[in-house]
Structure 1
Amino acid sequence: MPIYAIHCIDKPLQQELRAATRPDHLAYLESAISQILVAGPLLDDEGAPIGSMILMEFPDRRSAVDFAANDPYSRAGLFASVAVTVWRQVLPRPD
Structure 2
Amino acid sequence: MLYVIKCVDKADHLQVRLDNRAAHVEYLKSYGEKLFAAGPTLTEEDEAMNGSVVILDLENKAEAQEFCDNDPYAKAGLFDSVTISKWKKVLPA
Q: After the TM superposition, which segments of 4 or more aligned residues of structure 1 sit over 3 Å from their partners?
A: none
- Give me the identity figure in percent: 37
SS in 1 for 2:89: coil
Equivalent residues in 2 for 1:14-93, closer than 5 Å:
14-45=13-44, 46-93=46-93
Q: TM-score, normalised by structure 2?
A: 0.95
Q: Give the RMSD, CA atoms, in angstroms.
A: 0.8
Q: Which sections of structure 1, spanning at least 5 residues, go unmatched? A: none
SS at match of 1:92: coil
SS of aligned partner of 1:69: helix
Residues of 2 paired with 1:63 and 1:52: CA distance? Answer: 18
Cα distance, 1:89 vs structure 2: 1.0
The whole-number CA distance in structure 2 between the counterparts of 1:49 and 1:19 is: 9
Partner Cα separation in structure 1 for residue 29 and residue 90 of structure 2: 27
Report the 3-state secondary structure (helix = DSSP H, G, I; strand = E; otherwise coil) of the residue aligned with 1:38.
Answer: strand
Deviation (angstroms), 1:33: 2.2
